[in-house]
């Protein structure tokens, strides 16, 4: 599982953590139910936002949950999971964008994909996922052609981009794809008036996902020789941070225009956890109220103790969190294997083993299938001091909502 929105269970509180897990499991089971067991490998943290947004806008409280049977990923426990059109739309988007990402890796001849038999098998898997995503999208009234077109245009834009090319020109296809997916949640929920502000929130989310992926992968891409938008366009990290902060602020403003039935989880993920994702990528810490208290510029306060955004960083401009991001809905980036790194297919085998032994969800730590770095389980990725766990559930911790202008 991958993505930029990875909330800490302590900040969510027990109620919202249960809801978040319901959507994560719902996406996974929607993929399995419509497309088979192997499709579950494209389950991702960002894709479940589609399911969260759909349910948050829905008028009726019934029909959006079902009780799922025991699952190894939950330690053989039953659970209430999300179901319905929101989960299926999330599955369709995840499949189509994962298909495009695999084709991109085949075209770049990354790792084992440089070998013709492996590349042929990967193309078949990608084609199968693309067709499956299109079928499910059609079932819920969403034309996945807009996603395919965005991915196809991305290739051409990257080929033409160079020093001086505006970074937002490179992020535009991702913005278009996520805008369409976010807007369709309003249609599924019967709230057509929400489509425009959700499209704006989705557009900015796509921009932010692309930016953070570029920041986190810049060091790895430089070593492997892979294309990176920041390096290719000559965009400094300070400018990338400014664009990220502007996108985050725009998402918060757009959410204020959306009419939710129960938007607490959607608000926390998109207005608060996204901010922490920005801090993780740039190696900074702190929350929005600190900037107001210190009179500092930016939404998240001054850089703290290192990171590429801090000129006094002990990392000398290198991002200590490199390699952990992925654009919305797409498959994780697999640079060519280096010392200690597994190749694409070996990593897939390791990922299956990690999932089947419950380590992804239940273990405090596990070894990353591809990078072999130590990772935290999704229920244990705590990066807060846990002193305000209950307050976080109602978004009153440190009065963050009053200082970030998110309207709650």
Q: What is the pLDDT of residues 319-371, one digit of tens each?
A: 433 344 444 444 444 444 444 677 777 778 777 776 665 556 555 567 777 77
Q: Inform me whether the pLDDT recorded for 306 exceeds 50.
A: no
Residue 382 lies in a domain: no
Most confident of 110-114, 264-268, 313-317: 264-268
Provide the mean pLDDT of the chain. Answer: 78
Q: What is the largest CA-CA distance in the chain?
A: 59
Q: Give the end-to-end CA distance of the chain in Å, rounded to a whole number.
A: 30
Write out pLDDT tens, residues 55-114: 999 987 667 788 888 887 777 788 889 888 999 999 999 998 888 888 877 876 777 777
Looking at residues 126-132, what average pLDDT do you find? 89
Residue 329 lies in a domain: no
CATH of the domain at 58: 1.10.600.10
> Each residue of 174-198: b (16+ CB within 10 Å) or e?
bbbbbbbbbbbbbbbbebeebbebb
Which 8-state DSSP code applies to residue 203?
A: H
Same domain, 349 and 263: no
- CA 194/CA 45 separation, integer angstroms: 23
Same domain, 46 and 185: yes
Q: Measured in whole angstroms, how far is the alpha carbon of residue 206 from the centre of its chain?
A: 9
Write out pLDDT tens, residues 6-63: 887 777 888 898 899 999 999 999 999 888 888 888 988 889 999 999 999 998 766 7
Same domain, 74 and 196: yes
Torsions phi, psi for 349 (to 5 deg): -65, -40
In the chain, how many domains are there? 2
pLDDT of residue 37: 87
Structural domain for 367, as ranges: 344-376
pLDDT band (50, 70, 90) for residue 152: confident
H or E element in which residue 265 lies? helix 264-267
Same domain, 129 and 208: yes
């Amino acid at each position: 599982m991958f993505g930029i929105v990875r909330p800490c269970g302590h900040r969510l509180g027990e109620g919202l953590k249960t809801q978040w897990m319901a959507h994560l499991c719902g996406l996974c089971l929607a993929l399995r139910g419509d497309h088979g067991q192997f499709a579950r490998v494209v389950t991702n943290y960002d894709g479940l936002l589609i399911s969260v947004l759909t349910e948050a806008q829905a008028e009726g409280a019934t029909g959006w949950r079902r009780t799922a049977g025991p699952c190894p990923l939950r330690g053989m426990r039953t659970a209430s999971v999300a179901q319905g059109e929101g989960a299926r739309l999330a599955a369709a988007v995840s499949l189509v964008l994962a298909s495009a990402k695999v084709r991109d890796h085949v075209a770049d001849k990354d790792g084992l994909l440089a070998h013709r038999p492996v590349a042929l098998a990967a193309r078949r898997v990608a084609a199968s996922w693309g067709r499956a995503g299109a079928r499910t999208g059609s079932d819920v009234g969403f034309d996945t052609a807009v996603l395919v077109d965005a991915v196809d245009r991305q290739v051409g834009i990257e080929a033409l981009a160079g020093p001086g090319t505006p970074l937002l020109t490179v992020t535009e296809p991702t913005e278009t794809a996520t805008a369409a997916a976010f807007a369709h949640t309003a249609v599924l929920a019967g709230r057509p008036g929400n489509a425009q502000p959700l499209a704006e929130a989705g557009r900015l989310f796509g921009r932010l996902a692309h930016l953070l992926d570029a920041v986190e992968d810049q060091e790895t891409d430089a070593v492997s020789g892979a294309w990176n938008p920041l390096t290719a366009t000559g965009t400094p990290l300070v400018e990338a941070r400014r664009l990220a902060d502007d996108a985050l602020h725009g998402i918060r403003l757009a959410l204020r225009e959306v009419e939710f039935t129960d938007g607490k989880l959607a608000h926390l993920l998109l207005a608060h956890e996204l901010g922490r994702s920005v801090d993780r990528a740039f190696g900074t810490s702190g929350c929005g109220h600190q900037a107001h208290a210190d009179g500092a510029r930016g939404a998240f306060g001054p850089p703290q103790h290192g990171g590429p955004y801090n000129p006094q960083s002990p990392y000398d401009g290198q991002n200590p969190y490199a390699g952990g991001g992925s654009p919305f809905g797409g498959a994780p980036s697999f640079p060519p294997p280096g010392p200690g790194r597994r190749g694409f297919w070996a990593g897939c085998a390791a990922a299956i083993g990690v999932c089947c032994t419950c380590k992804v969800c239940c273990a405090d730590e596990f070894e990353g299938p591809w990078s072999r770095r130590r990772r935290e389980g999704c229920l244990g990725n705590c990066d807060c001091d846990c002193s305000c766990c209950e307050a976080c559930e109602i978004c009153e911790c440190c009065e963050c909502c009053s200082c970030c202008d998110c309207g709650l």
